[in-house]
Structure 1
Amino acid sequence: MADRTVDVLIVGAGLSGIGAAYRLQERRSDLSYEIVEARAAIGGTWDLFRYPGVRSDSDIFTLSFPFRPWRGKDAIVDGDSIRTYLVDTAREFGIDRHIRFSTRVVSADWSSEKARWTVRVVTGDDQHEETYEARFVSFCSGYYDYAAPYDPGFAGIEDFAGRLVHPQFWPEDLDYAGKKVVVIGSGATAVTIVPAVAEQAGHVTMLQRTPTYVVAQPRQDAIGNAVRSVLPAKAGHLAVRTKNTALQWAFYQACRRLPGTMAGLFHKGAASATGSQAVADAHFSPPYKPWDQRLCISPGGDLFEAIRTGRASVVTDRIDRFVDNGILLESGDVLEADVVITATGLSLQLLGGATISVDGAPVDLRDTVAYRACMLSGVPNFAFCVGYINLSWTMRSDMTARLVARIIDRVTQVPTGTVTPTLDGAPASRPLMDMQSGYLRRSADLLPRATRQYPWAMAQNVVVDSWQTNRADLDKGLVWTTAPTSTVTATASATRTSA
């Protein structure tokens, strides 16, 4: 017998989970739901990452929820502000009363006989085991492995006499004031950390294997702030959100359709901002097209400013091994360091590491196809959430939350309702998240697959996705039943016997 019973169990109390709960109670306030959160606080990613300068690459107007206006002046905001916004949102709409913290999902098994999920969790300070029974389960736990970041396996780490730090586990006692710091990496985390640490460090070197496109962006949205000053809060927020969504979509399309032109503009911007054509040529000229990998934002050009003023520098080379006083490069040079920060990337892990099964048979995510990037083929009454990788996470997660609320609304109209994504035709061969970023390439074979056609596609295109998702025909790709399989079979057998 389950310890707790709910209509809907939501896993994760970050951006996706809070948004999913809002959309659920907006559409079906009569349904019972609970959010289980493995951490001890609201925030998800924004509660986990505490490294210097932590912020979003996306503007807050598209990252925040469309149903709760952002009231601050800045468009690019820090992690603390995002976390506070999430806590306040959950409190304002009563969502916080449905959250159970320090509760991690271990496994979930669907019973066709019961038309219910049995979800096993470990909870509390002693991490004792309990079970939930739920009609529908929605995983909003993101796609990062919160326990284990990516480890490139650098040789000689044990020989390094300094301090080695990974941003995912930033120590509160780290003192880098006046010291030589090397940040390994050139992605969003490194681009954030370098200028922040450079404010106190003696010098910071960003060591990258491959350059990244980095674009300066104002911290404030002057047009957006002007619009919000003359409109009511919600109308102003939605107007700016719509404007920024359109601009981000146009920017991405320009990068994909005119890669040479956009790469040239980015290169000129880097040369101008750093004050050095040579620096731009050597360290900000990637060998790939814009948005083949994720593009990085430098708010107010802070990274470029740190380089221009000499507080930071960039080295493009490969690591041979760590040595006592720093890092030996393949070129033969040694980068001396007191502190090395390994911003080398994250590992992907869908469903927070939980296992799922249907009638006792384990589900391998690699064998499933994603229905509208939010359900799994062959898995009943189940949803997951991933955001965009080329635009703000919430622009996709809110779209998913509204679709899943529609599906839950329909499937719970009867006590034993089930809905199962069912793929007809050729098997899928495309990655669900099709981009060449290292963390996606490394984990592509661990994730569900996709096709080129809806409802089994995710276009990474907000215009196409929103048109397809918001107008989704719920009878295409989904099989609906009103009783458990065992009941249907028994009824059919009784009918044949009577005949």
Structure 2
Amino acid sequence: MLATAPDFDVLIVGAGISGIGMAAHMEMKSPNHSYAIVERRDNLGGTWDLFKYPGIRSDSDMHTLGFDFEPWRHEKTIADAPAIMDYLNQIVDERGIRQHIRYGHKVVSADFRDDEARWHVEMELNDGSTTRLTANFLYLGSGYYDYDEAYDPGFDFGEFDGQVVHPQFWPEDLDYAGKKVVVIGSGATAVTIVPSMAKKAAKVTMLQRTPTWMFARPAKDWVANTLRKVLPEKLAYRLTRWKNIKMQDFSFKLARNKPQKMKDTLHKNIEKALGPDFDRETFTPPYDPWDQRVCLVPDDDLFKAMKAGKADIVTGHIEKFEKGGVRLKSGDFLEADIVITATGLKLAVAGKIAISHNGEAVKFSDRFYYKGCMFSNLPNLAVVFGYLNASWTLRADINSDYVCRVLNHMRATGTDLATPVLTPTDEAAIEEDDIFDFSSGYIQRGKNIMPRNSIEYPWRLNQEYVIDRKRMADDPLLDGWLTFSRADARATGTKDTGEQLEAAE
């Protein structure tokens, strides 16, 4: 065994949903392993603490965006950021996690050294100084987008004399009462902001280059709230969670297999909210439902704002920004005191951390995903990249559970390296798949930096939670790909066989 122990068995990067979920799983399933969470910001919550724009809320139900181990107790299943923050704070306090969080620690680089079986992690502190921690295993709960930069479509604001705001960097003192607002974009952020700002603004216009598929649902789940009244809380939560998982899966597959039927259903719901004379073209994208994420409209809030004359949707292309508003190529002019550029996020891999292995830089676009959790030929590293067609936390839960299985196996067998090994011969035989079968702009812009994807398990980031959940929990760790070894064994040129490790387990 190694002469000196690392600072921690596991270092978790990020105190958002993914990082807190991993810590909670470790408390339950790997309690004898030490860990710390390092968070670049001064508060936990990740996305839910970063974004401050009006109305920020979940775009999926909290019975699946919530953790499998902690029931969602709020009456509304579509929750705002303060309610989600309450949920996360309750978990870190009740489960003894808060004492493990170190705020103001921005990870800039991490190098894994085989001979020591540990990561050397360099961090910048808020005061400009640097520090280092070592850990046997690194778990990245750093999200999927760039915290420092949003996507910049290259707008030239020219003579525009109003305020320009991007939702990712929302000024908390922005006064928009009685103002005319143009929100550029048609994704989930725009669909959230428009009805919320319409409550105070004189008029809010959502300017879309192309329409987005939208579906309305109540913010309260009457089934969930009924079950909570008649069943034990945890049982009611499990039943509601499974119902929603199956509904998500059914809706996604229906959209892919019978797109016209899904289009008709979505249009029917919009007609119910806006009336039979609604402009169908405004709500008919040039792609099928779930070729991009379908936007949630809770309690018809966007449609109600439109019916009240407080909001509208305009489809068009920007010619230029002028004094007092936006000129479209059609010649139409949209008056604006404030322009909100809800134009999307910028994808980032591994939190933009400079990852290296024995001093050699790791290029993730050269690596294959392993079980949507680890990477080919890279030891002791796991990440979370949530589902595109379901709630993020579903993947965070199964990845955390899987990594705890790996940690416990390493402890039981006296090994300190867990590596998904892919030989050049095996790699050459892999048939690759498109990692994201989605046409969303932020997905397409970031695909060049994403890891590689196979058409077959385990070398892929899959998009079917029900299948992933079963395989991650039930498939043997010793699958012929994931190799467990000792640092001293590598140093002497020997390794433990799978049979030896299995016997030790």
TM-score bracket for this pair, using the shorter chain length: over 0.9
**What's the TM-score once normalised by structure 2's chain length?**
0.93
Give the whole-Å Cα distance in 1 for the aligned partners of 2:435 and 2:404: 22
Post-superposition CA distance 1:339-391 (Å, at most 9, x none): 00000000011221111111111000110111011111111011111111111
Match of 1:149 in 2: 150
Q: Which stretch shifts more, 238-247 or 405-414?
A: 405-414
Is 1:300 aligned to residue 310 of structure 2?
A: no
Q: Which stretch shifts more, 307-316 or 408-417?
A: 408-417
Post-superposition CA distance 1:124-181 (Å, at most 9, x none): x3131111111100001111111101010012x1421001000011111111111110
Match of 1:167 in 2: 167
Match of 1:433 in 2: 436
* Corresponding residue pairs, total: 489
Match of 1:16 in 2: 18
Match of 2:53 in 1: 51
Pairwise CA RMSD of aligned residues?
A: 1.9
Give the whole-Å Cα distance in 2 for the aligned partners of 1:472 and 1:159: 61
Post-superposition CA distance 1:245-270 (Å, at most 9, x none): 11111111111111111101111222
Three-state SS of the structure 2 residue aligned to 1:267 is helix
Pair 77,226 (structure 1): closer, same or farther in 2 beyond 3 Å? same
The answer (yes or no) to whether the contact 1:428–1:449 under 8 Å persists in 2 is no
Give the whole-Å Cα distance in 2 for the aligned partners of 1:4 and 1:472: 30
Three-state SS of the structure 1 residue aligned to 2:487 is coil
Q: Which stretch shifts more, 191-200 or 421-430?
A: 421-430
Is 1:230 aligned to residue 230 of structure 2?
A: yes
Post-superposition CA distance 1:87-136 (Å, at most 9, x none): 1111110011100011011101011111111111112x313111111110
Report deviation, 1:474: 1.6
Give the whole-Å Cα distance in 2 for the aligned partners of 1:158 and 1:92: 52
Three-state SS of the structure 2 residue aligned to 1:80 is helix
Give the whole-Å Cα distance in 1 for the aligned partners of 2:190 and 2:435: 26
Pair 207,265 (structure 1): closer, same or farther in 2 beyond 3 Å? same
Give the whole-Å Cα distance in 1 for the aligned partners of 2:244 and 2:111: 41
The answer (yes or no) to whether the contact 1:185–1:344 under 8 Å persists in 2 is yes
Give the whole-Å Cα distance in 2 for the aligned partners of 1:90 and 1:44: 14
The answer (yes or no) to whether the contact 2:368–2:452 under 8 Å persists in 1 is yes
Give the whole-Å Cα distance in 1 for the aligned partners of 2:335 and 2:224: 45
Mapping of 1:185-224 within 5 angstroms? 185-224=185-224
Three-state SS of the structure 1 residue aligned to 2:419 is strand
**What's the TM-score once normalised by structure 1's chain length?**
0.95
Match of 2:137 in 1: 136
Report deviation, 1:416: 5.0
Letter in 1 for 2:319: D
Report deviation, 1:482: 2.3
Three-state SS of the structure 1 residue aligned to 2:397 is helix
Give the gaps of 5 or more residues in structure 1.
493-499
Q: Which stretch shifts more, 226-235 or 456-465?
A: 456-465
Report deviation, 1:478: 1.1
Is 1:184 aligned to residue 184 of structure 2?
A: yes
Give the whole-Å Cα distance in 1 for the aligned partners of 2:330 and 2:392: 39
Mapping of 1:359-370 within 5 angstroms? 359-370=358-369
Match of 2:502 in 1: none
Three-state SS of the structure 2 residue aligned to 1:448 is coil
Mapping of 1:235-246 within 5 angstroms? 235-246=235-246
Mapping of 1:1-400 within 5 angstroms? 5-123=7-125, 125-155=126-156, 157-279=157-279, 281-400=280-399
The answer (yes or no) to whether the contact 1:396–1:462 under 8 Å persists in 2 is yes
Pair 260,484 (structure 1): closer, same or farther in 2 beyond 3 Å? farther
The answer (yes or no) to whether the contact 1:275–1:308 under 8 Å persists in 2 is no
Letter in 2 for 1:269: N
Give the gaps of 5 or more residues in structure 2.
497-505
Give the whole-Å Cα distance in 1 for the aligned partners of 2:142 and 2:303: 34
Report deviation, 1:24: 1.6
Match of 1:489 in 2: 493
Is 1:454 aligned to residue 457 of structure 2?
A: yes
Give the whole-Å Cα distance in 1 for the aligned partners of 2:32 and 2:495: 31
Post-superposition CA distance 1:67-96 (Å, at most 9, x none): 111111111110111011101111110011
The answer (yes or no) to whether the contact 1:348–1:439 under 8 Å persists in 2 is yes
